[in-house]
Amino acid sequence: MKKIALQNLPKLFSAISESKALYLPVDTESGAEFRLYREGDTLSEACNTNRSAKDFFFPQVEDMAEFKVEGKKIEVLDIRRESEEFVIFGARACDVKSFEILDSVFLADPVDTYYKNRREHVTVISLACNFPEETCFCSTFGIDAASPAGDVAAWIIDEELYMTALTEKGEAFLSAHAALLSDADESKVDKKKEEIAEICHRLPLQNLPVEHFKAEKLMEHFNDPKWAELSQSCIGCGTCTFVCPTCQCFDIRDFDTGNGIQRYRCWDSCMYSDFTQMAAAQPRLTQLERFRQRFMHKLVYHPANHEGTYGCVGCGRCLAKCPISMNIAKVIKEIGGEK
């Protein structure tokens, strides 16, 4: 266990950025955002950033290939480049768990090499949540806000940052910056974990009834008449999917640059009327069907195909950002009751 005074964090950030790109949550006019570190930046105290850290591995827009066309000759150009080594500092437990969920999709056969390249070059420094928000419900999915995963786990206690390595990458990170760190008393971290656990226990959205969402009840949930009322106010804006750390839907398109074709992919949303639209039409014609698809995937389809792991991490971003206050917590309460 190591520690550093908060007043010395700028020295640590500068040391990290000398050899690797460093990203950390900083306060902006619209809320906390992960940004490339610049001298003078300070670590945000916000519990969550507006957008999740998944952008680092699965960016909103990403070039995939280029095509040069000369008559009937087509040349395919691989534009992939080796990713730089980088550090994400201050990711919360929910976001770190979301990396595991994304890994189960993008690193399964066939492996997404674009995603894999970025994942292999990152060191994740996670940060425990001293003050979880009322919109947080990560413990519903077995995530401990007091003991985040990652390569290094960190806690802010009495004007000091405590850190412990969880992986070989984490050991290498602490070793590389040992000159700025000192040995720490682990008992203080244990006490902080107890304090955070007590706060989480009192949050209003703890103990949501997700245990009733089971694969064997798939059709029972699918045909629940409550979907009609729940989806009625949804405007299909897709905000929930764009702030969600685990949504992984994307579209691939080609753009004529005038000097060839640029192929790129960009985030898509199952809440959109043209999502997965094919020549024959859109397979989910109503907003009810699209609304149900999103939440059935999070709560039933994903765990059924990934050893019980839900497709939600309880970060609460969709609760905070939905313009009509419809969210997965309400769905769980309404659909997830004992049948």
Domain-embedded: residue 321: yes
Domain-embedded: residue 255: no
The mean pLDDT value of the chain amounts to 92
Q: Indicate whether 339 pLDDT > 60.
A: no
- Rounded percentage of the chain residues whose pLDDT exceeds 70: 98
Consecutive H or E run containing 253: strand 250-256
First to last CA, the chain: 47
User: What pLDDT sits at residue 175?
Assistant: 97
d(CA 338, CA 336): 7
Domain-embedded: residue 258: no
Bridge partners for 88 per DSSP: 23, 124
Q: Which whole number is the average pLDDT over 54-77?
A: 91
Domain-embedded: residue 298: yes
Order of strands across the sheet that contains 61-70: 73-77, 61-70, 261-267, 250-256
Domain of residue 61, residue span: 2-68+80-202
Q: Indicate whether 303 pLDDT > 80.
A: yes
Task: Look at residue 145 and give its three-state secondary structure.
Answer: coil
| Judgement on whether residues 102 and 245 belong to the same structural domain of the protein | no
d(CA 320, CA 245): 14
d(CA 5, CA 156): 9
| Judgement on whether residues 219 and 195 belong to the same structural domain of the protein | no
Q: Answer whether the bond into residue 323 is a cis peptide, omega within 30°.
A: no
Q: Which long-range contacts (CB under 8 A, 24 or more apart) does 78-82 make?
A: 80/113, 80/114, 80/117, 82/117
| Judgement on whether residues 185 and 307 belong to the same structural domain of the protein | no
Closest CA to 23 of 110, 85, 116, 101: 85
User: What pLDDT sits at residue 48?
Assistant: 93
| Judgement on whether residues 11 and 98 belong to the same structural domain of the protein | yes
Angle, CA 155 vertex, CA 95 and CA 310 arms, to 5°: 25
| Judgement on whether residues 31 and 175 belong to the same structural domain of the protein | yes
Residue 132 half-sphere exposure, CB side, CA atoms within 13 Å?
A: 31
| Judgement on whether residues 290 and 316 belong to the same structural domain of the protein | yes
